[in-house]
Each structure stands twice: as structure tokens, then as C-alpha cells.
Structure 1
Amino acid sequence: MSVRDFGRVNAHAFRHTFGSQSVARDVLIDVVQKVLGHVSLQTTTIYVQAEKQRVVEEVARYYAGVAAQKTSNA
């Protein structure tokens, strides 16, 4: 996020960032649930799904770079 985008951030975005980063850093999901004040653990698992999606995207980007490097070296 750039400084220019900071003005568009709201409380929900900060909560979502906290939830996603906490899950990414292996904070237990029930702890994240309590901090965010979710009654349902199912609501909190949204952040787990977001983290899984981020991992898939990062791995795909890595392998795309590897493939591009092999092509340019060939």
C-alpha cells in the first residue's frame, strides 16, 4: 500500500490486514477469532482462505519467473 492509498483505508481494511497477517504468522485461529471479536470461527476462517490464496499466487508467480528465466537462458 502506498502513502497515496492510505486515505482510502478504513477500519475494516485494518482488521482484515491484521487477520490475514496474524494467520500468515501462525497465530492460532481461535486467538485471531477472539481478537477480532468474531462469534463464529467460520467467519475467522475467511482469513485462512485468504492466506491460502496468497500462497498459491506467490508460488505461481515464482514458477512463472523460473520458467521465464529458463526461456531467456535457452
Structure 2
Amino acid sequence: MRKLWIGALLLGAPISHELLIAQENPAIDPWGLTAVSGLELGHYTLSERATGCTVIIARDGATGGVDVAEVPRGPGS
């Protein structure tokens, strides 16, 4: 259920165009995700909290999926 909720949250969240503009222009890997025609990749890092979000955009439409791997944080987590 948690995977479904997180996926729905990410797919339904409004995205500001300014957040998707790359802070730098990284080199394009010929075997990477950005080499796939029709896909765009954006990332935003919130340095104040050491967290970020990566967004994959398929302008022509696509079916998305999310896989969340949980890391144990100690006893009772």
C-alpha cells in the first residue's frame, strides 16, 4: 500500500517548471536514461535539508511506476 500511495503522490503533485531547469548541463551518457528519445530528466536538490527529487518526463505520455526500497533505521523501525 505504501508504494501505491507514494506513486500517487508523485504523479499527482504539481511541478513548478523552475524546479525542473537543470542547475548545470551534465554530459549526456549515450547509454543513460537521457539517451532514450522522448524522455527528459530533471533534478532539484534542497541543500538546506540534504534531500532532493528527480523527475522523469515523457511529453508524449507513458505509464509510470515507483519502487521504494526501505532501509532499516534501527531497532523497532
Structure richer in strand, relative to its length? 2
Q: TM-score range by the shorter chain?
A: under 0.3
Q: TM-score scaled to structure 1, two decimals?
A: 0.20
Flag the structure with higher helix content.
Answer: 1
TM-score of the aligned structures, taking structure 2 as reference length: 0.20
